[in-house]
Amino acid sequence: GEDVEQSLFLSVREGDSSVINCTYTDSSSTYLYWYKQEPGAGLQLLTYIFSNMDMKQDQRLTVLLNKKDKHLSLRIADTQTGDSAIYFCAESSTGGGNKLTFGTGTQLKVEL
């Protein structure tokens, strides 16, 4: 079955860039997503990338996809304390109703 892996923790200083990595195994993945979850809150969709793209930029967020290695990353430029949260990558396949398979989540801590 599908498997999505992420490192559990990342700590960065305010103003630095954060890079959160994700690997997946399903070669039929069509879309790959990044979600943010703040304490006690639901999941917020940050951005997504279609599998035939290798990069997508949206303000401070840059998503890089290496389809050959099945590796996805999320770069947050100029990280702020408000970016402290858990970040989940997820994949879906068309034909599967777009149900999401989530990674384990990476807890990002931004220090002053």
Residues that bind other proteins (CB under 8 A): 31, 35, 41-45, 48, 50, 88, 90, 92, 94, 96-105
Shortest reach from residue 103's CB to other proteins, in Å = 8
Place of tokens 């997503």: 33
Closest CA to 63 of 81, 93, 90: 90
Which of 40/112 has CB closer to other proteins? 40
Which three-class secondary structure string do you get for 8-53?
A: CEEEEECCCCEEEEEEECCCCCCEEEEEEECCCCCEEEEEEEECCC
Which of 41/112 has CB closer to other proteins? 41
Shortest reach from residue 2's CB to other proteins, in Å = 10
Shortest reach from residue 92's CB to other proteins, in Å = 7
Which of 7/12 has CB closer to other proteins? 7
In contact, 24 and 72? CB cutoff 8 Å: yes
